[in-house]
Structure 1
């Protein structure tokens, strides 16, 4: 896997991720899990999905955080431990890369696994998992990757915050379409998962792949709403779009891209830049589980 992710960016986006994810879909997953579930978190980063989802599962659980970046996994343990202690829970570290969080609803065990997700699922211990989960991962992967995962899994697959192509910055700018075109091209380049990335096609392609294997698939919208009152996030989002467009579009357009960036940076600094990024959450339930799971409203 070639793309790297900055821990500070993951921290910046965490509050927006938390607000965007579908709670009904998370509760549907929780109901589909056994009493003491074992959860494999792919591309876990700093552990943000664990911090959000574990309380909805609400009972004793075992998580394995999988990532290709050892620094992010180390930060995940630090951030998870600090968050637990802030609410008064006891945290113990019985051995290296294992954390126990003693909560009122049971002990939450967190482990770490360093792995290249481009090789998944072959390098994962899927027979030891009751669910495979992820956040903002599956729009980076390729169609063959998703097909392999769907063909291999016999447990629920939950993928949150997959981009769907519905996004925009406000107020409008004359070069918004130019930036969007370059950004979309960058979304679809090979991100190291053995083929072109799914990008905004991820929700549709995942649903197709898992349904073909007999899974019941449920989706829910999970858009980011970036208000003008959060200038750091708005500016970071605009910078990311400009960087991606600069990589994808011809050099002759560089001046227009940078002019768009400067305009958006100025708007963000003035508290006048608003953005929306469309996402979709997806839950795929295998036939044995789908028969007993509730229908999402």
Structure 2
């Protein structure tokens, strides 16, 4: 969620989206991942997990209790306030009762090397991949390949949004938002909606077997607060990229937020999860 050079994310926003994130993540990818980790654990000692751009730890809270065995989580973020008390917010044990250890670290995750990942069983991240550049993804894939670890990258944006009821301006805001996601930020050209395709190619070039699964947010009347905040941020990013949309944005938002408040708005925000496993095919992943 947070790399050096990326914007700081408010804990309130991360808390608001955590339930939708948890509902969306691809549980189908855990079978092949557990198979790989079981072999890694056979050598003894805890699984070592590196959580990149961990935010408040939502990925760890979702994943740690779904994996077996003792685990040591290194949780990286650029924002020290997000790392405060993160260990207390993590599960206390794994799926089979194994002990969890949490090590928070403030650092630039775009500079991780194979040496940094030595002994790592799994590298994971949520809502991070689309904030990276092509070179950063290539470097991450190469480092993970050299370290021989699995990689699970969740909730990367795909650039597709479906809002019901439809509005004639939906496509314009979507196109502007996607261009904003692909912007150059501090000299870094972000991948945005192209991230999963670029990462798949990068990991495959480095000898990994890659599985991906669609993981959309399905937002309805029960998600009014999240939907409203997502709409505000989505429109703001679109207008920042395409100032000509400013004139229409106020009325567009009024219509959308009124419908949201009335429980009459639904949105599907498309994401994709990616699992990369070292070596050859590791079995089929259920659809």
What is the total number of aligned residue pairs between the two structures? 272
Which residue is equivalent to 2:126?
Answer: 135
Which residue is equivalent to 1:202?
Answer: 195
**2:252 paired residue among 260, 263, 266:** 260
Q: Tell whether the 8 Å contact from 2:59 to 2:126 is kept in structure 1 after alignment.
A: yes
The runs of at least 4 aligned residues of structure 1 exceeding 6 Å deviation read none
Q: Secondary structure at the match of 1:168?
A: strand
Report the CA distance between 1:24 and its aligned residue.
Answer: 1.6
Q: Tell whether the 8 Å contact from 1:264 to 1:273 is kept in structure 2 after alignment.
A: yes
TM-score normalised over the length of structure 2: 0.89
Partner Cα distance (1:243, 1:17) in 2: 22
Which residue is equivalent to 1:15?
Answer: 19
1:295 aligns with 2:287: no
CA displacement 1:10-32 (0-9 Å, x = unmatched): 11111111111111202321221
Report the CA distance between 1:197 and its aligned residue.
Answer: 1.1
Which residue is equivalent to 1:49?
Answer: 59
Q: Tell whether the 8 Å contact from 2:77 to 2:106 is kept in structure 1 after alignment.
A: yes
Q: Secondary structure at the match of 2:222?
A: coil
Report the CA distance between 1:46 and its aligned residue.
Answer: 0.7
- C-alpha change, 1:149 and 1:256, in structure 2 (3 Å) is same
Q: Tell whether the 8 Å contact from 2:31 to 2:285 is kept in structure 1 after alignment.
A: no
Which residue is equivalent to 2:112?
Answer: 121
Which deviates more from structure 2 when the two are superposed, residues 120-129 or residues 229-238? Answer: 120-129
Q: How does 1:207-286 map to 2 (within 5 A)?
A: 207-250=200-243, 252-286=244-278
**1:186 paired residue among 157, 180, 194:** 180
Q: Tell whether the 8 Å contact from 1:242 to 1:258 is kept in structure 2 after alignment.
A: no
Partner Cα distance (2:210, 2:93) in 1: 33
Partner Cα distance (1:113, 1:206) in 2: 25
Which deviates more from structure 2 when the two are superposed, residues 239-248 or residues 173-182? Answer: 173-182
CA displacement 1:151-172 (0-9 Å, x = unmatched): 2213111101111122122111
Partner Cα distance (1:245, 1:18) in 2: 26
Q: How does 1:23-42 map to 2 (within 5 A)?
A: 23-33=27-37, 34-35=40-41, 36-42=46-52
Q: Tell whether the 8 Å contact from 1:30 to 1:56 is kept in structure 2 after alignment.
A: no
CA displacement 1:146-205 (0-9 Å, x = unmatched): 01111221311110111112212211112112211211111111345x631111111111
Which residue is equivalent to 1:90?
Answer: none
TM-score normalised over the length of structure 1: 0.86
Report the CA distance between 1:124 and its aligned residue.
Answer: 7.4
Unmatched tracts of structure 2, length 5 or more: none
1:156 aligns with 2:156: no
Report the CA distance between 1:2 and its aligned residue.
Answer: 2.8
Q: Tell whether the 8 Å contact from 2:50 to 2:124 is kept in structure 1 after alignment.
A: yes
Partner Cα distance (1:123, 1:70) in 2: 24
Report the CA distance between 1:274 and its aligned residue.
Answer: 0.8
Which residue is equivalent to 2:136?
Answer: 145
Which residue is equivalent to 2:81?
Answer: 71
Partner Cα distance (1:253, 1:56) in 2: 44
